[in-house]
Amino acid sequence: MIIAVGNTKGGVGKTTLAVNLAIARALTGRDVWLIDGDCQGTAQTAISIRAEAGHEPGIACATYPDGSTLRAQVQQQAAKFDDVVIDAGGRDSTALRAALVLSDVLLVPFQPRSYDVWALSDIAALVDEARSVRDGLRVCAVLNCADPGEHSSDNAEAAAAVTEVPQFEYLPIPLRRRKAFANAAGAGLCVLEAKPRDDKAVSELNTLIKKLF
């Protein structure tokens, strides 16, 4: 499966989520290729830290911020892997547009903030463009860095707004604002292997993976 984690809005946790997803899949024995489609190269840095620390399994990772290069490399190399995870960056870029055409699934993380919800119209328009040239793109939206607690009005309002965007399948499994996700990714790890273990973060990630794969 080729899955892109993307949004034209920056700061929604795409790289953290992409790194956690890629490593989690590799921990199940899948052969995973993580592609960093952002010129900042944060996902590549995380995987380099992982390799330097000697963590297993190793993760293949490449950086292709240029859309034409990303498209050519995925078309040539994707069949060698069980899963390809593309961190598509935080703006309308050629890499994001290429990822939309190549992927089976687009995961759109958004935070429970007005600016994040308003910006979803931009990625929705890109989804329409991608679907006009290829069939079968599944688009899932997930509330990321959600407010703690089960009764947050901001969480509820953001989720309600997203369910009204016809291009998206809203996944009602919020990933809450937990240091475990960012701390793990920053160390080149997934929350499934990080110590000390955050059982709530582990449960949230596992639930998301089941929905996506």
Q: How far is CA 90 from CA 6, 13, 15, 138, in A?
A: 7, 9, 9, 19
pTM comes to 0.94
**Rounded to the nearest 5 degrees, what angle is found at the Cα of 17, between the Cα atoms of 136 and 6?**
45
Q: Supply the pLDDT for residue 117.
A: 82
CATH number of 2-212: 3.40.50.300
For 68-83, the pLDDT digits (tens) are: 999 999 999 999 999 9
In this predicted model, what pLDDT tens digit does every residue of 168-192 receive, in sequence order? 999 999 999 999 998 999 999 999 9
Asked if 146 and 176 count as a contact pair (C-beta separation under 8 A), the reply is yes
Task: Give me the residue spans of the domains in the chain.
Answer: 2-212
**Distance between CA atoms of residues 191 and 41, nearest Å:** 21
pLDDT at 163 over 80: yes
3 state DSSP class of 7: coil
Q: First and final CA of the chain: distance in angstroms?
A: 8
The amino acid that residue 12 corresponds to is V
Burial code of 93-107, b = ≥16 C-beta within 10 A, e = fewer?
bbbbbbbbbbbebbb
